[in-house]
Structure 1
Amino acid sequence: MRLKLLAAAVTAAAATLTFTTSAQASHSWGSYHWARTSNPFTLKLGDNLSSNWKSYLSTASTDWSASSVLDTTVVTGQSNNNCRATSGRVEVCNRTYGNNGWLGLASISVSGGTHISSGTVKVNDTYFNTSTYNTPSWKTLVMCQEVGHTFGLGHQDEGQTNANLGTCMDYTNNPDGPLSNLHPNTHDYDELESIYAHLDSTSTVDQSAAVPTVGNSKASWGKRVAHSAHGDTYVRDFGKGNAVITFVIWAG
């Protein structure tokens, strides 16, 4: 099975990591970015994780903080068992979310059209408790990639060639292969500089506001608006310009 993700745009988005893979000149996720008035800015990553996942979040935080425009800090989580979003930060959670086909889920809520106002990362222990995925390399890859999505990054490689680009923002069948997929690469940091090249007059970082959220099953995702052999796209409209778009890639 291979990893592949659908990316796109609207008021909120969720990208699901599961299982394949033309390198992109740009791999921003739409035009989404955190509003802020200066660089570098610091984004809180809420730790709602069990002890066996904490080191992987720490590694991802250190890796992404090497960016010249972004720092992250791991703080105590403020979420519940379903990993509800908290405004102004990213909540990171693990749980046995069930045999629903996905390894990890990254979601962003957006205000003002493109400004990220919250993010969540979920890693699914239903699969990570199996021998295939219960490895340091798979956990490092998935955590790095899903956290990267909450900054506005997409995948570097979304074609069918499955070229290994040596980054966690890529698809791979083997994270332990000759070219490591466990950490960001130079292009990821360059893309973050591009995404955050301009400053905003206001900030959505560490701010309080209500944000929409969805659950972990089809019933909560709203209307299916697109279908392919690799996955489905759902939209749930909360009204008044608030929505969550969920991109689902099913396990093969």
Structure 2
Amino acid sequence: MRLKLLAAALTAAAATLTSTTSAQAGHSWGSYHWARTANPFTLKLGDNLASGWKSYLGTASNDWSQSSVLNTTVVTGQSNNNCRATSGRVEVCNRTYGNNGWLGLASISANGTHITSGTVKVNDTYFNTATYNSPSWKTLVMCQEVGHTFGLAHQDEGQTNPNLGTCMDYTNNPDGPPSNLHPNAHDFTQLESIYAHLDSTSTVDHSAAVPTVGNSKASWGKRVARSAHGDTYVRDFGKGSKVITFVIWAG
């Protein structure tokens, strides 16, 4: 079985979505969101990428900044290839992480329901193969993993269903038709719903200690959900602080 597009995040709703119709009704990660006091807010995407990946992050940033509630800006990364989380922003990294079953991985740190940091990792072990070494796969994976760090889940988790025309969809063929390379209108509607309320404080660009996890399931904590396509893990650091990781495995 081919590796399927990976993503991160915990949400009971996302874990139980079983059809395109139900998925499109709402595809948020439960109540996880960045705390902020005004819309639109700007989230920094830290570039820790090799030169061959930088344009894909730029495309994802431009795509998601079309939202009416958030903007993103690509800044110099503060992490390394191990992609240690940085408070108040998202760190984006690539590396040959090994034959561990995942193509891309997104994790969020959260305190309660407020996201405090995010990481995106793309695994060159697989992107260096003929199957995934293409602009289409790189565009899709980067777009989806960055989207997860805003609190978005997948619109559809079926791997053989028709493309929905969004990068927040599983697919065996990113080019479609329709193309799954960019967000669609439903993604932006969902972001408006997630960020409809304002908070009294902000976790965006906020300096604070954040927990982090590694690249293998041994560091991801307790498995809290399992499906035909992947597992969801939560590592609880106490006092409401946790890291949520959702992984799709190769069959």
TM-score (normalised: structure 2):
0.91
Aligned CA distance change for structure 1 residues 161 and 174 (closer, same or farther; 3 Å)? closer
The question of whether the paired residues in 1 share the 8 Å contact of 2:159 and 2:170 is answered with no
Query: 1:40 — aligned with what?
Result: 40
For 1:228 and 1:170, locate their aligned partners in 2 and report how far apart those are by CA, in whole Å. Answer: 16
Superposed, 1:1-252 pairs within 5 Å as 1=2, 2-3=4-5, 7-9=9-11, 22-23=20-21, 24=23, 25-111=25-111, 113-159=112-158, 162-252=161-251
Aligned CA distance change for structure 1 residues 45 and 158 (closer, same or farther; 3 Å)? same
Aligned CA distance change for structure 1 residues 41 and 65 (closer, same or farther; 3 Å)? same
- The one-letter code matched in structure 2 to 1:183 is H
The question of whether the paired residues in 2 share the 8 Å contact of 1:116 and 1:204 is answered with yes
Give RMSD over aligned pairs.
Answer: 2.1
The question of whether the paired residues in 2 share the 8 Å contact of 1:106 and 1:121 is answered with yes
- The one-letter code matched in structure 2 to 1:71 is N
Which stretch has the larger CA shift, 198-207 or 215-224?
215-224
For 2:43 and 2:238, locate their aligned partners in 1 and report how far apart those are by CA, in whole Å. Answer: 28
The question of whether the paired residues in 1 share the 8 Å contact of 2:223 and 2:234 is answered with yes
SS of corresponding position for 2:51: coil
For 1:127 and 1:217, locate their aligned partners in 2 and report how far apart those are by CA, in whole Å. Answer: 16
Q: Which runs of 5+ in 2 are unaligned?
A: none
**1:132-186 Cα distance to aligned partner (Å, 9 max, x none):** 0000000000000000000001100124661321000011110112200000000
Aligned length in residues: 243
Cα distance, 1:251 vs structure 2: 1.0
Same amino acid, percent of matched pairs: 85
For 1:56 and 1:21, locate their aligned partners in 2 and report how far apart those are by CA, in whole Å. Answer: 29
Aligned CA distance change for structure 1 residues 21 and 223 (closer, same or farther; 3 Å)? same
SS of corresponding position for 2:20: coil
Q: Which runs of 5+ in 1 are unaligned?
A: none
Cα distance, 1:236 vs structure 2: 2.1
For 1:3 and 1:48, locate their aligned partners in 2 and report how far apart those are by CA, in whole Å. Answer: 21
